[in-house]
């Protein structure tokens, strides 16, 4: 319940509104697959999950030391 009431942003509210509209249109037109798609979209908005899950598309933080990344590279010339 705590997850449903917190962390609302524009995209989450947009998915909820769009899902409810799709559900209503699906029931009015008796198109049950559209209504099912609206239920899935509304459920995703309420549970705050996306296609990749919660934070599944997030890039991991860099844990290596930045000085080792900028270390000078030495090259050796090979003659044939």
Supply the pTM of this predicted model. 0.60
How many domains does the chain fold into? 1
Let me know if residue 79 belongs to a domain: no
By CB neighbour count within 10 A (0-12 exposed, 13-18 middle, 19+ buried), where does 45 fall? buried
Domain range for residue 44? 2-69
Instruction: Note the pLDDT tens digit of each residue in 15-50.
Output: 899 999 999 999 999 999 999 999 999 998 888 877
Residue 30 is given by DSSP the state T
- Please tell me the distance from the alpha carbon of residue 16 to that of residue 59, in angstroms, as a whole number: 26
Per-residue pLDDT averaged across 43-65, rounded?
A: 70
> Within a domain: residue 78?
no
């Amino acid at each position: 319940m705590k997850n449903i009431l917190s962390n609302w942003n524009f995209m989450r509210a947009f998915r909820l509104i769009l899902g409810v509209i799709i559900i209503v249109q699906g029931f009015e037109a008796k198109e049950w697959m559209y209504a099912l798609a609206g239920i899935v979209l509304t459920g995703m908005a309420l549970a705050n999950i996306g296609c990749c899950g919660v934070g599944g598309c997030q890039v991991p933080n860099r844990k290596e030391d930045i000085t080792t990344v900028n270390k000078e590279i030495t090259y050796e010339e090979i003659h044939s």
